[in-house]
Structure 1
């Protein structure tokens, strides 16, 4: 892994992980362009770790309050104390746990199938087209009327299912969860917040599984300056991307990404057919 590859992949990971254009799809395209092989799996996993840090930084206060208030709720349950109405952050924590269940089931059950899709760029191109359509449809048809107190268990399970399907390379994780949130009637601020917070357990779990696979497979674990630069870039660019997506969604400009995805998807498919 040289400096140019580390810089390009770090920036693209930070952008594509949070903007609804699919980080897995774009990294696959870039790896194909650079001729990067599975021997760089450790580098890829560390880029994902960088974007994990991005979420924690942007939503640090919410993450802290969810942890504190959720532990307080558990303490009341274990000690038999009376539990009143759940706070916003307690509900948020419980819904994140619920939404993570279908994500984990889909990821573990269909892991081998999803990984097989990386062998060809055509399925990735098709998935990019699908992501573009979902973004366009959700922004045109979605309604906004639910805050965290009105958000239901069914809402979280559906959004978690969409996140699980985003394991398909070319399907955007942030895009799919935002689409599901909008179609379920969540208000836009809640949609973006839940989308990114729901990514924390999924991204951390995928990171751990990836690192275990690196060691079991005997792939090289090389910690060098390009790796550090790549992780720092993925983290910094990730923070900027999260804040940018929040503004874009609030301004009803989500469909702009559809045009980009349709162009990239079409080019990807055509390039493999000619």
Structure 2
């Protein structure tokens, strides 16, 4: 990996991680189109540490409140009746599906799941699902009104994002809208739900990204740090923008963008302009 590649991919990660358009798909497509190589699942996972650091800082007060409530709930029955205590448990339980499936299918996630034919398909299919959820979801409930069933559903939706093109935020926002959460509530919860899984994935992927002779573009330590810092800075700004946007606008712009990108990718693959693997 050279410095241009590291800088570009850091920017792409920061811009796309929180939008429901799949950052892993954009890193995969960008690296293939412009650098004729796959950046690799490990590079994606490590740069996500930067964007998750942005989540930790942006939602620091919320995270501290949930964590402190969760721990106090072990010894205080009154605390266990609060919404914060329930939400903290929903995050824990919602993380289980992606943890289990990520471990069981680790090799497939890093190889066959990154096929660009599959990426193009998931971009379009999950765009349609997001559009249907936006159109028909009741969108009446706040995060505080979530149930355990809702937490499990959104956890399973997050697990689907192991396949590039699905989108972690896209999957969870789609599920949230479908079960009746309003757009801002679904978006906020998707950020919180992602923290344990993304941090764990990024930390465990650090050795893999520097493995010589491994798959994908191989950055130096300095390039990896710079790409991650760039992802953090741009990701922080993206969080603030997205929360303001979904409070007043539908998500149809992301639906149409995903469909257009998927069709473009199908065209490039059919014409033989880029390789699928």
Report the TM-score, using the length of structure 2 for normalisation: 0.88
CA distance in 1, matches of 2:142, 2:246: 16
Residue in 2 that maps onto 1:56 = 56
The worse-fitting range, judged by mean Cα deviation, of 184-193 and 211-220 is 211-220
Structure 2 CA distance for partners of 1:122 and 1:42, relative to 1, 3 Å:
closer
Matched, 1:94 2:60: no
| Counterpart secondary structure, 1:12 | helix
- TM-superposed CA distance for 1:20, in Å, is 0.7
- TM-superposed CA distance for 1:101, in Å, is 1.3
CA distance in 2, matches of 1:42, 1:122: 20
After superposition, the CA RMSD in angstroms is: 2.2
CA distance in 1, matches of 2:41, 2:168: 20
Ranges in structure 2 where 5+ consecutive residues have no aligned partner: 272-277
CA distance in 2, matches of 1:45, 1:110: 15
Residue in 2 that maps onto 1:190 = 185
What do residues 81-140 of structure 1 show as CA deviations (whole Å, max 9, x unaligned)?
544552232121111011111222222223333333355311111111112212211111
- TM-superposed CA distance for 1:232, in Å, is 1.8
- TM-superposed CA distance for 1:252, in Å, is 2.8
Residue in 2 that maps onto 1:19 = 19
| Counterpart secondary structure, 1:210 | helix
Residue in 2 that maps onto 1:222 = 220
The count of aligned residue pairs is: 267
Structure 2 CA distance for partners of 1:161 and 1:63, relative to 1, 3 Å:
same
Residue in 2 that maps onto 1:177 = 172
- Counterpart contact for 1:14–1:241, Cα < 8 Å: yes
CA distance in 2, matches of 1:60, 1:84: 20
The worse-fitting range, judged by mean Cα deviation, of 144-153 and 171-180 is 144-153
What do residues 165-197 of structure 1 show as CA deviations (whole Å, max 9, x unaligned)?
111111111011011011111233321121000
- How do 1:76-225 residues align onto structure 2 when only pairs under 5 Å count? 76=75, 82-83=77-78, 85-118=80-113, 120-214=115-209, 222-224=220-222
Residue in 2 that maps onto 1:35 = 36
CA distance in 2, matches of 1:51, 1:84: 31
After the TM superposition, which parts of structure 1 deviate over 6 Å for at least 4 consecutive aligned residues? 215-218
Report the TM-score, using the length of structure 1 for normalisation: 0.89
CA distance in 2, matches of 1:29, 1:115: 15
- Counterpart contact for 2:46–2:203, Cα < 8 Å: no
CA distance in 2, matches of 1:209, 1:37: 20
Residue in 1 that maps onto 2:231 = 234
Structure 2 CA distance for partners of 1:7 and 1:124, relative to 1, 3 Å:
same
Structure 2 CA distance for partners of 1:66 and 1:29, relative to 1, 3 Å:
same
- TM-superposed CA distance for 1:261, in Å, is 0.9
The worse-fitting range, judged by mean Cα deviation, of 206-215 and 122-131 is 206-215
Residue in 2 that maps onto 1:262 = 259
CA distance in 2, matches of 1:109, 1:166: 15
- TM-superposed CA distance for 1:163, in Å, is 0.4
CA distance in 1, matches of 2:128, 2:20: 12
